[in-house]
Amino acid sequence: MGNSVATDAHLVIPSEARNPLPATDSSPAARNDKAKRRFLLQLRALLWKDLVTEWRRREMLLSLIVFSLLVLLVFDFAFDLRRLDMPAAAPGILWVTFIFSGVLSFNRAFAVEKDRGTWEGLLLAPVDRGAIYLAKLLASLLFMTAVEAVTLVLFGAFFDVPADIPRLAAVVLAGTLGFAAVGILFAAMSANTRAREIFLPVLLFPVSVPVIIGSVKATALAFGSSEGEYPWLGLILAFDAIFLAVSFAVFEYVTEE
């Protein structure tokens, strides 16, 4: 069994090394550096865990891609997209698809942890709650971006809508960031409720209206719409900055009982 004294000696941690907070006798700059390094290491570990578990499960990404394609198909059946003025209709259709798949992704980010009980394991560890928020946000962004990329490629192939690709990519990334910044925060809140699948969109949609409107309008411009050149991308970026900062700051409070 290897239950020897020599083996156990590896497992003893000196009490001075046990405190998760930097020692108070070091300089403020050294404490700051140590805290930053610790934060980044925790963030890396959390992100690695989310990506590896999803890669090995292969549940969410494939399901989201299939779901997005089904939403596009429903729109096609409902409106016969080839007869519509596609540059005008495409932004709304695309963002409805992105938003629906995003909500599923946010819900899964916490539902899986809650259902298998690993969420409490995370809360018990002396890990910065901001690191948990950023890791969940980055993982969701990666999944959503992958789904959006596949959706856009297939949408372009099926409907042949001319677009300013770099501009479209910038708008989709910025809009997704803002939507996910709020979505991850509300998903953490709604994960504690019984009706989390309903609760999340009810909370999320009203708050994210500015970024959704901005994203649809900015996407229309990328598709060559002749509407006014209101700085929609600037509005989206401002929304991103504000809600990233607020969500990061308050995440600790929503994770406690």
Tokens representing 72 are: 């596009």
Least separation in angstroms between residue 22's CB and another protein is 10
Tokens representing 230 are: 């209101």
Tokens representing 148 are: 């959006």
Least separation in angstroms between residue 12's CB and another protein is 6
Least separation in angstroms between residue 125's CB and another protein is 4
Q: Quick one: which of 133, 140, 135, 69 has its CA closest to 102?
A: 140
Least separation in angstroms between residue 164's CB and another protein is 40
Question: In a 10 Å sphere around its CB, with 0-12 CB exposed, 13-18 middle and 19+ buried, how is residue 173 labelled?
Answer: middle
Least separation in angstroms between residue 129's CB and another protein is 8
For CA atoms 63, 66, 72, 77, give the dihedral sign. negative
User: What does the binding site for another protein look like in residue numbers (CB under 8 A)?
Assistant: 1-3, 7-8, 10-13, 15, 17-21, 38, 41-42, 44-46, 48-49, 52-53, 56-57, 116-118, 120-127, 256-257
Nearer to another protein, 21 or 202 (CB): 21
Nearer to another protein, 47 or 218 (CB): 47
Nearer to another protein, 25 or 256 (CB): 256
Go through 43-60 and write b for each residue having 16 or more CB atoms within 10 A of its CB, e for each that does not: beebbeebeebbeeeeeb
